[in-house]
A = this chain, B = another copy of it.
Amino acid sequence: MPAFLTSAPAPLPQPALATRRSSADRFAAVRTQSAALCRPLLPEDTVVQPMLDVSPPKWHLAHTTWFWETFLLREYLPGYQVFHPDYAFLFNSYYNSLGSRVNRADRGTLSRPPLADVYAYRQAVDAAMQQLLAQRAETLPPAFWEVFELGLQHEQQHQELLATDMKYILSTSPLAPAYLNDKPAADTCLPAPKATWLPVAGGVHRIGFEGEGFCFDNEQAPHDTYVADFELQNRLVTNAEYLEFMAAGGYQDFRYWLGEGWDLVQQQAWQAPLYWLERDGQWLRFTYHGLQPVNMAAPVTHVSFYEADAYAQWRGCRLPTEQEWEIAARQFNPNPAAGTFLESSLFDPQPLPPDAAPDQCHQLLGDAWEWTYSAYHPYPGYQKAAGALGEYNGKFMVNQLVLRGGSCATPESHIRLTYRNFFHADKRWQFTGIRLAR
């Protein structure tokens, strides 16, 4: 889930004193959140890489730190000495501009540096950043503040990955360990309200990020797009609905599937979403609370694009495009406070209350990323940044699909209606869900 900074056409004005103070506070808050997420983990949990997509939490903690060190401290803090000369090799993710690095597939073979050293690394970099913000804020140029903002957003992206990677790591153990010790929130099984279809008027609409504040470069430039009239369902597909697809033999009938998806179903013997397990006739899911009965009213998650599309085909519907999604979302203008985000510590999308308004569009922000049937390609007029940060987003713009709306593992302050997330069609370890269009 890489991303990028807006290359704003006009240079940003120098932030005022209040802003600088709030910068230090925001920095501290974001950094604290990453570490807080890892607090329930044992050192052993932070080292392993049970599949290529997953990075060890220790690596996330160090890589986000390396980002601040590389892009800001080395540039702007006079006399700054890197914490360790080998860390650039160990914790660079994919920046060719910044030299060679540990093979991604080998991140889980590295026991050293130990977790304690990584926390020391965080502390040292945090202190240096605070020193920089305290002493030199008035002289830091706009370019600094651009990358500073990007660093915050980058760290938030890795918080979502931390949440989903930790889940995958714990799930591989036959011991099915719980990350959270309290009771799951939504275990009353009131049925979700029946989904309704909300019409959206077609025509030429403007999409893409405009206005103040941060966005990634991939949300640029704002542009017109044409869509025909369409309808969108007013909530996410639930586990109960998805189970109907399973019960109807959806995983056994090639007619609903894209060819490469059907090949995967065969090879991987997929029978259900990731983390589902049938035991004694009951469907369980691995969650942050360990193995739990599937909450039928909650949105289905951990489905690939192939599964989302097959489900839609089976229903005689389709997935929306990202243009449709954004046009609808701008029209329905969801209240972010209604969504489930990382800050809730629920780590699962929540069922819609039975009395949710049928004429409103729910769960657009938070809960689950919504697969769209749109390729992750550059917007018209897209420009990638110069230098190493030009590798942040642009080089991924092929062979992936756009997801919209954020999830229960996304920080609330991180999401926007214009936000474009992207994954390959086969990925299932993120909180990915389904909203139908027609």
Q: Which residue numbers of A lie inside 8 Å of B, CB to CB?
A: 42-50, 58, 86, 89-90, 94, 96-97, 102, 106, 108-115, 169-170, 172-175, 177, 204, 223-228, 254-255, 257-262, 305-306, 309, 318, 373-375, 377-378, 380-381, 390-391, 395-399, 401, 425
Contact = CB atoms under 8 A, between A and B. Distances in A.
Contacts of A391: 259
Nearest to A109: B50
Secondary structure at chain A's binding surface: helix, strand, loop or mixed?
A: mixed
A360 to B, nearest CB: 25
Contacts of A262: 96, 395
A174 to B, nearest CB: 5
A174 B109 contact: no
B172 A113 contact: no
A209 to B, nearest CB: 17
Nearest to A221: B228
Contact of A114 (B44, B255, B259): B44
A173 B111 contact: yes
Identical copies of this chain, number: 4
A252 to B, nearest CB: 11
8 contacts: A42-B43, A47-B47, A110-B173, A111-B169, A258-B398, A260-B398, A374-B377, A399-B399
Given A44-B58, A375-B375, A259 B396 contact: yes
B44 A111 contact: yes
A228 B377 contact: no
Nearest to A202: B224
